[in-house]
Amino acid sequence: MKKPLNVVFMGTPDFAVPCLNALHNYGCRISLTVTRPDQPKGRGRKIAPPPVKIAAVDMDCPVLQPISVKTDEFYNIIKGIAPDILVVVAFGHVLPKRILEIPALGAINIHASLLPQYRGPAPIQWAIINGDDHTGVTTMLMDKGLDTGDILLTAQTPISPDDTSQTLHDRLALLGAELIQKTLAGMENGTVRPIPQNHASATYAPMLKKQDGHIDWSFSAKKIEQLIRGVTPWPGAFTFWDSKQIKIFKALPKPLSTQAHPGTVIAGFSNELRVAAGDGALSIVEIQGPSGKRMHISDFLRGAAIPAGTVFT
């Protein structure tokens, strides 16, 4: 009977939880789960634990929530555990080189893209915003760079026309959990060999800001629709109507030849809100007014008429 791998897991958000569960199901001895400190959350700003902490406590794994990973104290804790492998998933801290050098078999990161594409913090969102037809997850050996380590394994998934960053996030989290098990099995039996990344082909996926959700109506209808899906649920797509913010959750691009200025509501579409874009038009399906709730456009228009000629900015 083989000795279980001694693992230190580092992760914080929902995306990391399936991987933690996968390590547990694989039979690893998770000696320590490291996650970010509890943070205020929600409208009430009540202090809440990160999802990884909740999952780790449920499986009786020890939890550590350091403010910094650069202290001698943290280094000595990890060094004392002497893990075979360090597994890092959306942890939120950059690990010092001396931490990465502790595990006997290396430090493995799961990244939500097919590296070297979309290095950085928002690969899921940018894959949708840019209109990619597929993406995936990568396991890699960590080095001192940002998502620059040697690739171990990858797994692909198509991006459907209905995917938002939330639905794709959830699917990739499960795909990453499957991939970490395959990666560990391959490392144990010698079938997985690190492959250096082609750094010349690398692209970067920067962190989204609130302003990135502001719709530019001069873009094509297709490009705007991709943006809406890519920034859902956060930061959310929005536009302005008479200085009031309108949120758009779902829309359909429509081929339409119009002389209307981009952002203008087009006449002639009963029970529909069709807006001119730089190329074509966007039919808005789900919307939220400044003080209302998310609703289907037909319900919204019954209570808030938006006449043709209205210009969104």
Average pLDDT, integer, range 124-150: 97
pLDDT in the model for residue 201: 97
Average pLDDT, integer, range 16-38: 97
Q: Structure tokens of 117?
A: 């594409």
pTM: 0.95
Residue 140 neighbours by CB under 8 Å, 6+ apart: 108, 109, 111, 115, 147, 149, 150, 151, 152, 194, 197
In the chain, what are the domains? 6-201 (3.40.50.170), 210-303 (3.10.25.10)
User: How confident is residue 176, by pLDDT bands cut at 50, 70 and 90?
Assistant: very high
pLDDT > 80? residue 173 = yes
Q: Quick one: 95 exposed, middle or buried, by C-beta within 10 A (0-12, 13-18, 19+)?
A: buried
CB 26 within 8 A of CB 184: yes
| CA 219 to each of CA 119, 160, 214, 263: distance values in angstroms, whole numbers, following the listed order | 25, 21, 12, 10
